[in-house]
Structure 1
Amino acid sequence: MQNSPHTTPGIRYTDEAKRFDPSAQVIYRDYTQGVLPPYPDGVFIQYSRCLVGQSVPQLLPNGFPDPACVPTAVNPGGNHTLPAVEVSAKAKEWTPAVSANYKFTDDVMGYASYSRGFKNGGFSQRIFPAEQVTPSFTPEFVTSYEIGLKTELFDRRLRLNVALFQSDYSDIQIVVNEGIAPKVRNGGKGRIKGFEIEGQAAPTDWLRIDYGLGYLDAKYRSVDPSAFPVNLDSKFAFVPKWTTTVAANVTAFDNEKGKLTIRGDWYYQSSTFKDAVNSPQLFQSAYSVFGANASYTLPGDHFTVTAGVTNLTDKRYIQGGYVDLNVGGVAEATYSRPREWFLKVGYTY
């Protein structure tokens, strides 16, 4: 029996403000002090006096500001890297959403949804050397579309859910380096589209299989020049093309002696970059992660003891990092946790 469609509209209004006070961001020690005369306090403090103080610097033959530059009201002490004036980023946005679903049968439902969202702008806060104006970035917007099916088949022994989606981004907030400091820029427009399949299968009473498959196609549609070296051919950071997960849960026994469940799982992710500029030092090739555990529930269903292992093959993969080859030749990466064994005891009231 077919059912009538159900529609759920909605809208959200957001009035958000972020404030940043750079007055605590100062040069405490200038390692060029006394090294490059005529700058007895150091060349970086000299820069801050001229640039942050917004005096008109007279450049000497060596390219540095004239030591005659002095602190002003926005640069007390002469060592602030940004004007010591609070700045704010405000956003007032309406973000609508609507979803509709239709039950074709008791076991098959189709749905479609539309939504719009945003995240507010803000300020780059790690600044060095000094700048006259606090660098800012504007809100990022996304418009998302999704259609899909949710099903329970074969007397509910198979759950299969399928979704197709597309997200259109504008004013994408990305991080690029300028000198030795990272800055957030509004990089342009992009689109992520793909599909997801997930569900469960219970072919027998003692076996349950959880599964999932995801595909993402992420591309820039336009790139602002301020986002250089990001370009139209750059890959989105942290967006793998393929992801797969499979887990098997086996009930070894469930009787008056208690319940023993054994689980094994596998996760796969295709290659991806860990920064917007696609630094080769932060490229993570495709990898798999395996895990396993066993849980024993005592008679009475109150106590459960679980022992297991995560990252069974001790795979080390990059989770994030930072690269600055222009100044200092620094490349840092944060890696995954190693193989870990665990033992847990739980009590249910």
Structure 2
Amino acid sequence: MTILKYGTALALVLGAASLSSALAQDEQQSSAAQGPTLDVIQVTAQRREASIQDSSLAVSAMTGETIEEDRILSFEDLASSMTSLSFTALSPLDQEFNIRGITNTRLDSPSADQSVGIFVDEVYIGRSGLFNSDMYDIDRVEVVRGPQGVLLGRNVVGGAISIYTATPTFEPSGNMTASFGNYSETLVRGYLNGPLTESLAGRLSFQTRNRDGFNTDILHNRDLDDVQSLQARGQLLYAPDDRDVTARLVFDYMEDEMNGFHSVAINGPDPATQGPWSAAREAVSAALGRELDIRESLPEHPQYKGDAAPSPQGLNREAWGVALDVDYGIGDFATLTSVTGYRQGQAYNLYDQTGIGPDNGYGVLTPLLFSFPVSETEDISQFTQEFRLVSEPGDSRFDWIVGAYYQHDEVEKYDRFWAEVPFTALTTLSGESHWDNSAETESMAVFAQLGFQMTDTIRLVGGLRYTRDEKSGVVTAVAVEGGDQFNPNDTVPVSPLAPNFTEGSTFTTSYGQSWEELTPQFTAEYAPTEDLFFYATWSRGYKGGGFEDDPANPVAAMSGYDPETVENIELGAKIDFLDRRARLNMAVFSMDYQDLQVTQTDDGCLCNITDNAADAEITGAELEMTFAVTNRLTVWGGATFLETEYIDFIDGTGLDASGNKLQRTPESQFNVGAELVLDVGQFTDALSIRANYSHQGDMYWSPENAQVEEAFGLLNGRIAFAPQDANWSVSLWGRNITDELYRTNVIAFFGDEVSRLGAPRTYGVEFSMDF
């Protein structure tokens, strides 16, 4: 694999060096030869098929072919290639997607909604932690930026990520791909597609991936952040020639498991303060006679009361779903669409938040060195139904969409907190507490949109959505025991139930509330030519309130947090020029958030607290450009610039973050890439060299703006050999080629920054065959 690593980097350099040669070849071509033009991706973000260049919203799209070429498997991979999208995560069940500064609340609470909506084949995924399996056999991914309060299924306040899987066709086809990489990674995927009858087609696709961990638990001699996964999808498409109806049935299944993830404590920004876990790592290094690598940790395996043995870190997920999409044409009047979805899943996750504790195997003990593992179990079922009636194009100047939406979720979450502390300084942290939280969410909406073609170049669009959310549930908290091996006589249970409950105390509390909201949107479109498109829009978005996951007392259980709303003003331009060899899309926007929901970890209670910021303001600009320089060379890039501020924000702990920047939001991002296609001997256009570099500016991890993630960049690349007349290809790929060290999560604890690390350099070889 060492050959692969250096071969990938060398080939990228050689590709750049060949640029002048490729340009010279193209310049020698006949002047009569037709120049290159850019492909146009069709999207359905506005519930009608249209090109990105004709859509009056900020949307980026990536085809399935590009997803495979850039080896985009996860949302984290996707974020490095999409404008204004960034990604952070505490764990695979606690993912945070950020679009234009709006970050998903960590989905710890069974009643929490997402700020950034996730859709798969137009079915809303309410719990993204149970859908972050690898992407495979994809038709395209659309990322919509800004609030989408009218058409996109459930209300979307920050933006949406829509994944469209490859659809069955009546042309027989198939593929098998195998990839082998460092960390002993093996990935195998494939699909079979074709007709079953004259009106019925089927498609079966799958992917398996196994990989050793990027990090190591040296206390138990185990890999961390490893992967063992399986996904499969079966589809049927009914499309008779004699009827204006199509129906698509999709069933998917996924399961994966890992040894848990790696947490490492890094001393915080205050040079006068040494955090307890970073200090313990230094002491263990001294005992080892070498410095602990940043990718090594010593996580605690807790022994919960009643368990026969300690419980190892680990994650297990299993989920399945079924979706039915039916389109029925009603003559020249309209098309009726029904989208039905059902998903069910279970997940188990146990992790040590600090990565080192008093049972570290080296006898390192300090007064503040406590251990705090968390075990969480989720059981989720979700049903969604949407009906849409979309007018057919005709002679009328008017077009319209009307519809209704229904969603019902049942989520049960069981949390077990366990802690031990070696000395009496923090005895209230020792012990064990449990929370059993069951929530039910019912959301109903009706919506309508009307478009009016005022002139040949001007179109006006107005829409309105009415939403009613109702959430209810029951939470039971139990103070199982106080004390630990160091403090066996302590009777006060582990925080956050402490200090109001003693050992054996419990409470059961019901909670519930409903909210209603109207979300309008108005847009003006101006298209003076086929290559110029401008739009101006005002929109309002809404996200429902919710209740805490592990409330400290009955009052906190019933209190919850309020909905958030946003008003967005946006101006956009989409321009094709140089005979459609070049494309420039731009947007500027100003968003005013009311009652913005902010989740952070409080080191006073060691719990997550969700507060409503009084207000937050975000202004920004986005640029995307693609240029087909020659028939052989295409370059592209995108950039985002944001100015963010909390307005009059004092959270539940008394922290005043007014005037601070929004958490987990880089002020700037950009990505640039290029693809060069070359001849190899007698093989025309057989070698493609592709590279992409993404850069993320500085950002703050929490509203108090104390912990900073410094700017970093990631370089990814691929070299593929695919003769045009052959049904096979071979390629070398690399991600994070420069082995950049960066973090995907930081929690501030007692002067330490407990961090989760991004993936290191990975590379490999891939073989693919069509049949």
Cα deviation for residue 106 of structure 1 reads 2.0
Q: Does the residue aligned with 1:21 lie in a helix, a strand or coil?
A: strand
Tell me if 1:88 matches 2:512: yes
Cα deviation for residue 119 of structure 1 reads 1.4
User: Which residue pairs with 1:312 in the alignment?
Assistant: 737
User: Which residue pairs with 2:755 in the alignment?
Assistant: 333
Q: Does the residue aligned with 1:121 lie in a helix, a strand or coil?
A: coil
Tell me if 1:228 matches 2:654: yes
Match of 1:191 among 617, 635, 648: 617
Q: Does the residue aligned with 1:22 lie in a helix, a strand or coil?
A: strand
Which ranges in structure 1 are unaligned for 5 or more consecutive residues? 37-41, 53-66, 68-76
The residue type paired with residue 319 of structure 1 is: T
* TM, length-normalised to structure 1: 0.80
CA RMSD of aligned residues (A): 2.8
> Counterparts of 1:1-349 in structure 2 under 5 Å?
3-23=456-476, 25-31=477-483, 35=489, 42-44=491-493, 78-80=504-506, 83-128=507-552, 130=553, 132-134=555-557, 135-176=559-600, 177=602, 178-224=604-650, 226=652, 228-253=654-679, 259-280=686-707, 283-300=708-725, 302-325=727-750, 331-348=753-770
CA contact (8 A) 2:613 2:647 kept: no
Q: Residues 348 and 198 (structure 1 numbering): CA distance in 2 closer, same or farther, change over 3 Å?
A: farther
Cα deviation for residue 125 of structure 1 reads 1.6
Q: Does the residue aligned with 1:85 lie in a helix, a strand or coil?
A: strand
Q: Does the residue aligned with 2:482 lie in a helix, a strand or coil?
A: coil
CA contact (8 A) 2:589 2:620 kept: yes
What do residues 188-230 of structure 1 show as CA deviations (whole Å, max 9, x unaligned)? 1011111111020112110000111210000123224546324
Q: Distance in 1 between matches of 2:631 and 2:653?
A: 55
Q: Distance in 2 between matches of 1:165 and 1:223?
A: 22
Q: Distance in 2 between matches of 1:300 and 1:179?
A: 64
CA contact (8 A) 2:624 2:637 kept: yes
Q: Residues 126 and 330 (structure 1 numbering): CA distance in 2 closer, same or farther, change over 3 Å?
A: farther
Q: Percent identity at matched positions?
A: 23
CA contact (8 A) 2:700 2:706 kept: yes
What do residues 100-145 of structure 1 show as CA deviations (whole Å, max 9, x unaligned)? 21112221111111211121111222345x4544141111111111
CA contact (8 A) 1:259 1:297 kept: yes
Q: Residues 132 and 188 (structure 1 numbering): CA distance in 2 closer, same or farther, change over 3 Å?
A: closer
Q: Distance in 1 between matches of 2:570 and 2:547?
A: 32
CA contact (8 A) 2:574 2:584 kept: yes
The residue type paired with residue 492 of structure 2 is: V
The residue type paired with residue 765 of structure 2 is: L
CA contact (8 A) 1:275 1:320 kept: no
Which ranges in structure 2 are unaligned for 5 or more consecutive residues? 1-454
Q: Distance in 1 between matches of 2:677 and 2:499?
A: 72
Q: Residues 221 and 133 (structure 1 numbering): CA distance in 2 closer, same or farther, change over 3 Å?
A: closer
Q: Does the residue aligned with 2:739 lie in a helix, a strand or coil?
A: coil
Q: Residues 206 and 315 (structure 1 numbering): CA distance in 2 closer, same or farther, change over 3 Å?
A: same
Q: Distance in 2 between matches of 1:235 and 1:49?
A: 32
User: Which residue pairs with 2:239 in the alignment?
Assistant: none
User: Which residue pairs with 2:360 in the alignment?
Assistant: none
Q: Residues 348 and 189 (structure 1 numbering): CA distance in 2 closer, same or farther, change over 3 Å?
A: farther
Q: Residues 170 and 250 (structure 1 numbering): CA distance in 2 closer, same or farther, change over 3 Å?
A: same
Cα deviation for residue 51 of structure 1 reads 5.2
What do residues 19-66 of structure 1 show as CA deviations (whole Å, max 9, x unaligned)? 34212x322231178635xxxxx1339x979957xxxxxxxxxxxxxx
Q: Residues 98 and 344 (structure 1 numbering): CA distance in 2 closer, same or farther, change over 3 Å?
A: farther
Report the more deviating stretch, 313-322 or 218-227: 218-227
* TM, length-normalised to structure 2: 0.38
Cα deviation for residue 343 of structure 1 reads 3.1
Q: Residues 19 and 260 (structure 1 numbering): CA distance in 2 closer, same or farther, change over 3 Å?
A: farther
Q: Residues 49 and 297 (structure 1 numbering): CA distance in 2 closer, same or farther, change over 3 Å?
A: closer
CA contact (8 A) 1:164 1:194 kept: yes
Q: Distance in 2 between matches of 1:90 and 1:348?
A: 52
CA contact (8 A) 1:291 1:311 kept: yes
Q: Does the residue aligned with 1:103 lie in a helix, a strand or coil?
A: strand
Q: Does the residue aligned with 2:493 lie in a helix, a strand or coil?
A: helix
The residue type paired with residue 16 of structure 1 is: D
Q: Distance in 2 between matches of 1:15 and 1:175?
A: 24
What do residues 170-202 of structure 1 show as CA deviations (whole Å, max 9, x unaligned)? 101112425322210112101111111102011
- Which structure ranks higher in relative contact order (CA pairs < 8 Å, sequence separation ≥ 6)? 2
Q: Residues 106 and 234 (structure 1 numbering): CA distance in 2 closer, same or farther, change over 3 Å?
A: same
Q: Distance in 2 between matches of 1:138 and 1:12?
A: 20
